[in-house]
Amino acid sequence: MKTLPTVTTFADTVAQVETNGEEAYGALIAQAVDVQEIDVGWTRSKQLWKPLMARGVFGGQVVAQALMAAAKTVESHFSLHSLHSYFILPGNNQMPILYQVERLRDGKTYATRVVKAMQRGRAIFSASFSFAVAEPGISFDHQVAFPKVPEPESLPSEDFRVEELLNHPDLEIPEKYRTYLQQRLQEQAPIDYRDAHVASVEELAKLTPVKSDRQQVWFKAQGSLNDDPVLHQAVLAYASDANLLHTAVRTSGLARTEIGMMASLDHAMWFHAPFRADEWLLYDMDSPRASSGRGLCFGRIFRRDGTLVATTAQEGIIRLSLREQEKRRQKAKKESKI
């Protein structure tokens, strides 16, 4: 039986980089989104990451790698302006993902690609990518206002908040949750996320759930990246999948213990202006609707100077835990008798 190539982890990548910390972290995210060409129209993942307690490979990484695969098939004067993707099956981080690129159209101004991600002969993800040539001097411009939020340097990092929660002297944290938090600290995080809402320690522990009609998060790649705009788009795609679906949870005011399952179903992006993913970007998110076990979320990504550089949309599965479902059924039954 033929053995499959092995895949690396974030920790493996950092260990292989014999440079300073900044360059190591830059190599970390660059490796995470990169793919290797193996035949005409075919590439494979170099590295895959399965988040703690997740069903499969991180969806943002699959989107980013598919983007890189598609971009390798277009001329350099084309740039990606939109992508639309669907998550079909959870990805297995113990074997590479193969990306098949189909060239649908090569025009003078626009080019279209369809990418199918495969494992064990089955499609686990599909996406369409549209590339365009810049048309300076003939466009019209407008954009929404940049929201008022604290500066990123004034906000605590995710690691700082986790450590604060773990070291809180008066807070009883369930052992299973404590183990999860300790494992999170040990992971090598390629993206620095900083929530504009500085939650109390009790909120972090989900003893008093955060409820808000929007979520705003500053983020940037750890370390420095080269100047390739395709790499920056791929890193943005990677980072944009984090936090977005959780906006629907925050809008509904659900606690961590009330959720049984969360998984992305689709992910769309539109790119509007140049940016660097290793500089601070603001992710402004809202969720207009949740129903039938699904939540719909939209996001706007701004440069620090206020320029809107990308827009995102995502729908995902959000199912209550069996215990919470039964609890709500019993409550509805009681109320119907009153």
Annotated catalytic residue 233 = no
Q: Which of 47, 126, 216, 314 is catalytic?
A: 314
DSSP 142-156: --PPPPP---GGGS-
Q: 170, 176, 177: which is closest to 202 by C-alpha? A: 170
Q: Which of 34, 192, 241, 278 is catalytic?
A: 241
Q: Which of 31, 61, 215, 264 is catalytic?
A: 264
Annotated catalytic residue 314 = yes
**E-strand stretches of 155-210:** 191-195
Residue with tokens 């008798």: 337
Whether 242 contacts 270, CB under 8 Å: no
59-71 vs 229-240: helix crossing angle, rounded to 10: 160
Whether 277 contacts 235, CB under 8 Å: yes
Whether 244 contacts 274, CB under 8 Å: no
328 three-state secondary structure: helix
Amino acid found at 229: P
Annotated catalytic residue 264 = yes
Residue with tokens 């995502």: 314
Whether 128 contacts 114, CB under 8 Å: yes
Query: Which are the contacts of 160, defined by CB distance < 8 A and separation ≥ 6?
Result: none
DSSP structure class, residue 279: S
List residues with catalytic annotation. 241, 264, 314
